Structure 1
Amino acid sequence: MTRLTRRQFTLGLFATSAVAAVGGVGLALSPADRTVIIGAGPAGAQAALALRAAHPTLRVALLERDPTRLAREASDAAAAAFTAPRTEATLAQLKAQGIEVMLDDVVDVDWTAGRLSLFSGRDAAFDRLYLAPGTSARPEAIEGLDAEARYTMPAAWGNPREARRLAAQLAALPEAGHVVLRLPADLSHPQVALNRALVLSRHLAATRPAARLTVLDATPTPALAQSFAMAKRLQGLDAQVAWVTAAQGATVRAVDAHAGRIETDAGRLTADVINFVPPHVAGTIARTAGLVDASGWCPCDARSRSMLRSEAIVLGDARKGAARTLDGARLSVTAATDAKA
């Protein structure tokens, strides 16, 4: 049996969901329409390609603020384990399909006029708008958790620079060092969090067998801890791991990044490396576009159409209630395909 890597599955999943969403609204598109897709991550780039494949004469523009998103940078093997999946599409491939690629950022959306105000000072017109906003960290009222602390205790949650920083910190870990992984109560991606705990465990087992890992899991149920215990056993990992649940006092009250200290309901921890994962909400552009409700996420119907702006299609993790496990993702694809039919 061929085993898919998480990256391969995720890219395939995004492509499938993008095609499903395109099919759901395809009949409303005409060759004269200008379709703009915000966000060139896996979902956005694949949606652009799917739109061109379904409507060869449609005008499609892909807008991305980070020019490295579509670049082929040299792979950093140490940081790769902490880096989010990247789009398979290159800038050259997108342009070869007649897709206009705009490197800019959106500062405002005028739905009435169908125009985007861009950071560069330009405007961009649209008839149909797709958004792949991704997620962004939500601020937390934790004593000591300022910008400097977040730099020192990288989340490495979709940020390549933070991934490299975390990898460097792990490389410098003392032989009997201590690593802490903090997971917030409202965790957005449980499957990614489980994978992170396993990656750290494998790293310590392979390179620092005398080191130990503490997972501060503030999620309200023991489900993640149970899944980790099962995976650790099946993979034969012998790393020293202490999993602290919410009931055991995993909630973080204060941090001292310089001293490597974390104050929790269970007491004080001191660590050499702290992988501090914050809670997340829909990406900034989703809030700018008025697609986010009080939950911080984008309410959408089964065809990814925004329930706050029917003219907007939201792709990827920013959708409210989106399944963020592999099985849940498969179910969401099935629902989107059924909606297409």
Structure 2
Amino acid sequence: MTMSRQRTRREVGGLIAASVAMIAAPAVLRAQAMARVVVIGGGFGGASCARALRQADGKLDVTLVEANETFTACPLSNEVIASLRDISAQQFGYDKIAAEGVSTVLRAATAVDVPAHKVTFADGTTLAYDRLVLAPGIDLDFTALQGYDEAASAVMPHAYKAGEQTLLLRTQIAAMPDGGTVAIAVPANPSRCPPAPYERASLIAHYLKAHKPKSKVLILDAKDSFSQQKLFEQAWQQLYPGMIERIPLSQGGRVTGVEIATRTVVTEFGNYNPDVTNIIPPQKAGRIAALAGAADRTGWCPIDAATFASKLVPDVHVIGDACLGGGIPKSAGAAQAQGKACAAVIARDLTGRRSEPPPLTGICYSIVAPDDAFSLAGVYQPKGDIFAEIEGGRASPIDASRETRAREAAAATAWFKALTHDAFG
């Protein structure tokens, strides 16, 4: 790790000493010092928030804390599973963010001392803050399905955090004999990017159609209905007739557990033994949110939607997939919009500059074949503790032409390029 990308232990120790001096300093001196904002989580929400804070006021002391040197993006990662895209196209670093004046600490935060306003690392060093932004994304709930834990994911990958798991699932599908079955276990909501499992089923079917045409995809679903269901089902009939079967909740589709030794998937109405199994377990806010006391018994973080301020702990804001957002989806685009809006709120509070947070918009593309996609866009506004969708959104029409769907596929690629450039520079 280069010095430009990570604070050394000596630098973090210096921050500790500085924070102690600040506590002892007269109030007038503290008021004149730079306000310190720490952002934990370097995904779309956290990276965008850190950049927006520096852009809002160059005098703010902004630190981005992230456990990984490289971020691997989830949008378009289903194309990696289907061997349509290389995983390197999904990976981004933090050099450009650091070059803009955001301090980067590429280590995992292990605790948050809310009364003392400190973030703690594994070696005991701490980082002081005036405001803390939590953008930890999701964690997988490995207690939700009997027999499915982190070790089991090496046999039945979840591939719902992009990276090694994405490649593992791709490898398993490529090695499966023709005539085999790929099963996808889909959880109930709330979950990250609700259309993603159905996009995954579509792109796996695309790969099977080209390379293993006697094979099929089985969706075991904990829901009876899902976002843009008619568009997906229409695409499956047109592109992959007879290749994709979905068993909804009411017909026994909810997976309750697995038996790893026999590679068995257990549902309420019966068992299955697919050749490849993709288990997407229920989810919750990233672990640091619970350690900070910002997550409630649902596993997610309640917030004041107007300010992203935690309802449970002071001087802490929560953005992105981790928060209880109501109508706003848990998606990359929504997280990025929240990061920018949260930065505007914090900059206004700390600097006294009058500014209005930008509107919360989000768009989600679902790719069902390399030249076939559709989208759903929304505009959201605070309504109490959640976000409500307002007029201004759009969805792809059911009867869209092939040309229109091809344009949507091209737009998805352009959107991803713009999204990642905006977040990571």
Range of TM-score over shorter length: 0.7 to 0.9
Distance in 1 (CA, whole Å) between partners of 2:44 and 2:291 is 21
Tell me if the contact between 1:155 and 1:276 (Cα under 8 Å) persists in the aligned partners: yes
SS in structure 2 opposite 1:67?
coil
Which of 1 and 2 has greater Rg?
Answer: 2
Question: Match of 2:220?
Answer: 216
For the 8 Å contact 1:81–1:199, the answer to whether it is kept is: no
Comparing 206-215 and 225-234, the one that deviates more: 225-234
CA distance in 2, matches of 1:191, 1:151: 24
Q: Alpha-carbon deviation of 1:85?
A: 9.5
In structure 1, the partner of 2:126 is 123
Tell me what 2:297 maps to. 294
Q: Distance in 1 between matches of 2:235 and 2:33?
A: 50
Structure 1 residue 184 displacement after superposition: 1.8
* Structure 1 residues 102 and 207: CA distance shift in structure 2, 3 A: same
Residue 239 (structure 1) shift: 5.7
Equivalent in 203, 224, 228 of residue 232 of structure 2: 228
The residue identity in structure 2 corresponding to 1:280 is Q
CA distance in 1, matches of 2:228, 2:264: 24
Question: Residue 204 of structure 2 corresponds to which residue in structure 1?
Answer: 200
Change (3 A) 1:269 1:296: same
* Deviation of the 1:256 alpha carbon: 2.4
Name the amino acid aligned to 2:316.
Answer: A
- 2:66 aligned residue: 64
Considering only aligned residues, what root-mean-square deviation do their CA atoms show, in Å? 3.3
Secondary structure at 1:291 match in 2: coil
Given candidates 133, 137, 140, the residue that maps to 1:134 is 137
CA contact (8 A) 2:184 2:197 kept: no
1:220 positional shift = 4.5
Q: CA deviation at 1:76?
A: 12
Q: Is 1:237 paired with 2:240? A: yes
Relative to structure 1, is the Cα distance of residues 76 and 266 closer, same or farther in structure 2, using a 3 angstrom cutoff?
A: closer
Distance 2:256 2:98 in 1: 49
Deviation at 1:280, TM superposition (A): 0.3
One-letter amino acid of the structure 2 residue matched with residue 36 of structure 1: V
* 2:214 partner amino acid: A
Whether 2:188 is the aligned partner of 1:171: answer no
Q: State the partner residue of 1:14.
A: none
* Runs of at least 5 residues in structure 2 that lack an aligned partner in the other structure: 1-30, 338-358, 362-378, 385-425
SS at match of 2:46: helix
Q: Which residue of 1 aligns with 2:103?
A: 100
Cα distance change, pair 52–30 in 1 and its aligned pair in 2 (3 A): farther
Residue 40 of structure 2 is aligned to residue 38 of structure 1: yes
State, as a whole percentage, how many aligned pairs show the same letter.
31
The answer to whether the Cα contact below 8 Å between 2:218 and 2:246 also exists between their aligned partners in 1 is: yes
CA distance in 2, matches of 1:48, 1:161: 27
Asked if 1:151 is matched to 2:154, the reply is yes
Distance of aligned partners of 1:187 and 1:158 in 2 relative to their CA distance in 1, 3 Å threshold: same
Task: Note if contact 1:82-1:156 (Cα within 8 Å) is conserved in structure 2.
Answer: no
The residue that corresponds to 1:255 in the other structure is 258
Structure 2 contact 72–163 (Cα < 8 Å) conserved: no
**TM-score, length of structure 1 as denominator length:** 0.79
CA contact (8 A) 2:78 2:203 kept: no
Say if 1:277 and 1:338 are closer, same or farther in 2 by CA, change over 3 A: closer
Q: 1:85 to 1:249 in 2, by over 3 A?
A: farther
1:82-132: CA deviation from partner (whole Å, max 9, x where unpaired): 9799676x3221221111110222222112221111113211111111111
Cα deviation code 1:121-164 (max 9, x no counterpart): 21111111111110001133544324432220000002301111
Asked if residue 49 in structure 1 is aligned to residue 54 in structure 2, the reply is no
Report the CA distance between 1:318 and its aligned residue: 0.7
Q: How many residues are paired up?
A: 306
CA distance in 2, matches of 1:85, 1:132: 23
Quick one: which amino acid aligns to residue 324 of structure 1?
P
Change in Cα spacing, 1:84 to 1:46, as seen in structure 2 (3 Å) is farther
Partner residue of 1:190? 194
What is the rounded CA distance, in whole Å, between the counterparts of 1:57 and 1:70 in structure 2? 30
Preserved contact between residue 50 and residue 64 of structure 2 (Cα < 8 Å)? yes
SS of corresponding position for 1:36: strand
Residue in 2 that maps onto 1:11: none
Whichever residue aligns with residue 213 of structure 2, its letter is: P
How far did 1:338 drift? 11
Change (3 A) 1:335 1:301: farther
Secondary structure, aligned partner of 1:62: strand
Q: Contact 1:201/1:239 (CA < 8 Å) preserved in 2?
A: no
The structure 1 residue matched to 2:321, chosen from 317, 323, 338, is 317
**Post-superposition offset of 1:269:** 1.4
* Alignment CA distance shift 1:81-1:239 (3 Å): farther
Change in Cα spacing, 1:337 to 1:287, as seen in structure 2 (3 Å) is closer
